[in-house]
Amino acid sequence: MLSPQIILIAIAAYFIVLTTISYLTGKEDNNEVFFNAKRSSNWAIVAFGMVGASLSGVTFISVPGWVGESQFTYFQVVIGYLIGYLIVANLLLPLYYRLGLTSIYEYLFTRFGKNSHYVGSISFLISRILGASFRLFLVAIVMQKFIFDDLGIPFEITVILSILLIWLYTRRGGIKTIVWTDTIQTSLMILAVILSIYYINKDLGWTFSEFLSSSDFKEFNKIFVTESFTERNYFLKSIIGGAFITICMTGLDQDMMQKNLTCKNIKEAKKNMIVFSFILTIVTFLFIVLGALLFIYASKNNIAVPLVDNTPRTDLLFPEIALKSGLGEFLGITFILGLIAAAYSSADSALTSLTTSFCVDILKIDNTDSKSIKTRKNVHVLMSIILIIVVIVFRYIQDKNVIDSLLTVAQYTYGPLLGLFAFGIFTKFKIDDSKVYFVVIVNIVIIVIIGNLPSNLIGGYQIGYELLPFNGLLNFIGLYMIRK
């Protein structure tokens, strides 16, 4: 078992590397560099780095931990993701580049007016704050259980330190720094999952091919749920829901699009998106395979699922095995670095995009004067504090698998964005911009009611990720009703 001291040394070394990159990329301390890196990023670097940002600590831990309950059925959603990425590359990216946007929600101002612009940016701010907090919460829980509890450091301090470190290396270079740090973080994440699969198989006396052909593996490898359309994870519902989750959480999300908009032109941005989507699909499948291996290893070695507040947390099975099962210090250190990389590759870009959206969409600051730079820095601090508060709150209310919770929340918060962008792109109508708040609020109430309907009241039908496109459709209909 790794000592907390060794883990802390590894983490400190990792952050020295990130800080060095931040210093080198943050020499130009201005808003243009912070917001869009002067649109000078290499598309291949962006594509590889986006893998880490998309996977995050949630995929790194929660997806393998979910396999015990859901087998490989999450891959149905991943297939939907791939479809969604192709739609984003060919529909949304050309629109954003044609308009030369810094924040993608500026499109809503041009198309409909200031209220729609505010609704879009506020929807993003809420969605990304919750999404980033979910991701950071999971990593903070792991660090707390396996490192800081032994040192007597409370959870709240763990969270503050984690976000403070992110703030330190993103405060100057912004998105330009993140494009480069994400490449290192993605590399560490992929290395961690590959080494974990190798070392666990080696300990079990298997080769990788023997593992895949084993009867143990066959207990977990069901991908498609085809028995009944009423099932929550029926394959068509999962694939369609996955496609819309990607369209919203990537194509309509300033966090992910901000990286794409640093590419030199639309041709390179589309190459970035397409290459990234296929790499992401392969890597996610590796995490699912790792999940099966973890549960097989735990069963054969009588390793129980860890408890948090007397509640079993399958999210913590991967760290339990990597850090406490005697597979070696090298794997333990690689796991910790992979976990930190996975968490911070999404959290750092989230903090930067939240700052960008609030500055550009809400405060409407420009890119040049010193007062605007000072405002941007203050907003960066404010967003850091908000993340700290929300992560700490999650500690006391979160009791589900984090990946499931994250996707469930997305179905509620991204609906207004989906409806607004779809109405803007696929119709030529103007709307009564003064009524857009009313439409969104009414639809949120309706969706919350529908999403929480007991299945026995709707013929046994279990609502899954298809709630997101339905949410978007309701908003689309609402906007049609206030058309001019």
What is the structure's pLDDT at 349?
Answer: 74
Residues 6+ apart with CB under 8 A from 437: 115, 119
In whole angstroms, what is the distance from residue 223 CA to residue 78 CA? 11
pTM of the model: 0.80
HEC assignment per residue over 194-210: HHHHHHHHHHHCCCHHH
What Å distances lie between residue 367 and 31, 97, 161, 245, 372, CA to CA?
5, 18, 30, 31, 7
What's the token pair of residue 454?
């007991």
In whole angstroms, what is the distance from residue 63 CA to residue 55 CA? 10
What is the structure's pLDDT at 407?
Answer: 67
What is the structure's pLDDT at 369?
Answer: 66
What's the token pair of residue 270?
């589309």
Stretches in the chain below the pLDDT threshold 50: none
**In sequence order, which ranges of 88-230 are alpha helices (DSSP H)?**
93-99, 106-111, 114-143, 155-170, 175-204, 208-213, 215-218
CATH topology of domain 4-400: Sodium/glucose cotransporter (1.20.1730)
Residue where the block lists tokens 């690689």: 334
pLDDT digits (tens, 9 = 90+) for 74-133: 999 999 999 999 999 999 999 999 988 888 999 999 999 999 999 999 988 888 888 788
What is the structure's pLDDT at 162?
Answer: 82
Which residue from 71, 321, 75 is spatially nearest to 219, judged by alpha carbons? 71
Which residue from 72, 412, 447, 458 is spatially nearest to 230, judged by alpha carbons? 458
What's the token pair of residue 161?
């330190």
What is the structure's pLDDT at 40?
Answer: 65
Tell me the residue type at 58. V
Instruction: Give the Cβ contact number of residue 481 at 10 Å.
Output: 11
Which residue from 340, 361, 354 is spatially nearest to 129, judged by alpha carbons? 354
pLDDT digits (tens, 9 = 90+) for 345-372: 667 777 878 888 888 888 888 666 677 8
**In sequence order, which ranges of 301-433 are alpha helices (DSSP H)?**
317-324, 329-357, 370-397, 402-413, 415-426
Which residue from 444, 398, 394 is spatially nearest to 418, judged by alpha carbons? 444
Three-class SS state of 303: coil
Residue where the block lists tokens 């720094």: 177
In whole angstroms, what is the distance from residue 457 CA to residue 470 CA? 19
Residues 6+ apart with CB under 8 A from 208: 197, 198, 201
In whole angstroms, what is the distance from residue 443 CA to residue 386 CA? 26
User: What's the full length of the chain, in residues?
Assistant: 484
In whole angstroms, what is the distance from residue 384 CA to residue 153 CA? 20
What is the structure's pLDDT at 26?
Answer: 63
What is the structure's pLDDT at 1?
Answer: 61
What is the structure's pLDDT at 189?
Answer: 83
Which residue from 106, 91, 112, 89 is spatially nearest to 424, judged by alpha carbons? 112
Residue where the block lists tokens 């207990």: 219
Phi, psi (degrees; rounded to nearest 5) at 371: -65, -40
Instruction: Give the Cβ contact number of residue 160 at 10 Å.
Output: 17
